[in-house]
Structure 1
Amino acid sequence: MYATFSALKKYGYAELSIQRIASELNFSKSTLYHHFSDKDDLLLSFFNFLLDELEQFCKSSSTNEPKKELLDFVDVLLDEGITQKEQSAKGEILAAYIELRSQAIHDTKYRERITRTDKRFVKQIAVIIDAGIDKGVFQPVEPEETAEFILAILNGILMQGSTRKRAPFQQLRQNLIEYIQTELFVESATRS
């Protein structure tokens, strides 16, 4: 999968080919065709791998501090490395995620997989929000609706950060954090 990732970074989706991936591996194309029916089959397998990795990055261990857990989730997805200037390992994974996510527009297999991942993220955020409400540190909101909204904003910021030359990435990230603090956190919880 690393060779696919490396070739995708070098060539982008449109210019990617089985030959270029095989070259990254120093294998022949026939070796790849033995395991995958075509480029799309290989890229879908890579996309599944990528989403599994992204889900692992975002998995929160319950700290019994919902406020911290939610802000940590935001920090994981909004890694500064997503910007073009400095690509951290996490940033490169997020950039590949955005590039392959766009395939869901036309391909139901990608759409089904991204839908599954989005549902997991919404559930994870909703569980954090629900715990925050129970502990009295979050406003009494509808957890799933709020989680959907937060994930939509996160995805929008990721799209801006990975596709614009000079996206106001830090400003957008800070705006989301301020929204969470003012609209979701209970007043006394924002001071701690």
Structure 2
Amino acid sequence: MDDDRIDTGRSETEQAIMDATLRALAKHGYADLSIKNIGTEFEKSTSLLYYHYENKDELLLAFLDYIIDLFVETIDPDADDPDAELREFVEYVLPPEGDLTSCETVPAGVPSPIPDDSGVDPFQRAIFELRTQTIHDEEFRKKFTRVESHMVDTVTTLIKREMEAGHYREMNAEMMAENLMAFLFRSLDVRVTGTRLESAYAMRDSVYFLLDNVMPKEGNPTEAAAADTDLDHADDSDNDA
């Protein structure tokens, strides 16, 4: 197994099944996914899939647990530097500056399928498709509720630690965590759906406005907002010319 892979406590065979499921989901989408096309991506006997999982639904719930375990490992509430941990986490989720199609959101050691012509990261698309099933499936809803609650709680903990250390101003830490996660989820959604891609950059700017100007004790959000307004006016003048 890949030495860089995040250890989720699964056997080598179970890990290979998760990898095959990701590749099949990226290729076929949720609606057309079947045990057969997961087996096509699996290097071992398809019978092993049925040995571990009774049907596709059971396999997908196990796959979702696997994804949750990976995402839980991307942010540590006990990190030595809470601010740095927050910034590393948001950079992991947000698109890089100037390039919406090259965001690396695949956790360490997970083989990433090749993006199709749309440029959408297959890992992001797989998560998005599974998340849409929460509308109809209570088990999916419970699992996504658990991971989203965990993320908000973890971000809240990091913010509170920075407040206690005197680095962040006094604020409602949970509300700020909810704001940050809302921006991150919006960024992921528009990149996968292809709707108003420019919104992904607006979300990136919003997240860093909070991290650089609103949350730090020495930050000056009013001055920063005024500077952004001046820059927008300058851009408008250049365009008019």
TM bucket (normalised to shorter chain) is 0.7 to 0.9
Please identify the structure whose Cα radius of gyration is greater: 2
Q: Contact 1:132/1:138 (CA < 8 Å) preserved in 2?
A: yes
Q: CA offset at residue 165 of structure 1? A: 6.0
User: Offset of 1:67 from its aligned partner?
Assistant: 2.7
TM (norm. structure 1) is: 0.84
Give the letter for the 1:109 counterpart: E
Q: Deviations over 1:95-139 (max 9, x none)?
A: 322221111121111111111111211111011110111122212
Query: Match for residue 93 of structure 2?
Result: 77
Match in the other structure for 2:138: 108
CA distance, structure 1, for counterparts of residue 162 and residue 105 of structure 2: 31
Q: Which amino acid aligns with 1:103?
A: Q
* Match among 163, 183, 186 for residue 193 of structure 2: 163
Could you tell me which residue of structure 2 aligns to residue 16 of structure 1?
A: 33
What TM-score, normalized by structure 2, do the two folds share?
0.68
| Structure-to-structure mapping, 1:117-136, within 5 angstroms | 117-136=147-166
Residue 29 of structure 2 aligns to a residue in which SS? Answer: helix
Task: Provide the C-alpha distance between the structure 1 equivalents of 2:68 and 2:135, rounded to a whole number of angstroms.
Answer: 17
* RMSD between aligned residues: 2.5
Q: Supply the distance in 1 between the matched residues of 2:136 and 2:65 (Cα, whole angstroms).
A: 17
Determine the structure 2 residue equivalent to 1:99.
Answer: 129
> Which residue does 2:84 correspond to in 1?
68
Q: % of aligned pairs identical?
A: 30
Correspondence for 1:37: 54
2:75 corresponds to which letter in structure 1? C
- Stretches of structure 1 lacking an aligned partner (at least 5 in a row): none
From 162, 178, 184, give the equivalent of 1:154: 184
Matching residue's letter, 2:79: S
CA distance in 2, matches of 1:67, 1:31: 44
Distance 1:60 1:161, change over 3 A: farther
Tell me if structure 1 keeps the 8 A contact 2:77–2:158: no
Q: Which position in structure 1 is the counterpart of 2:230?
A: none
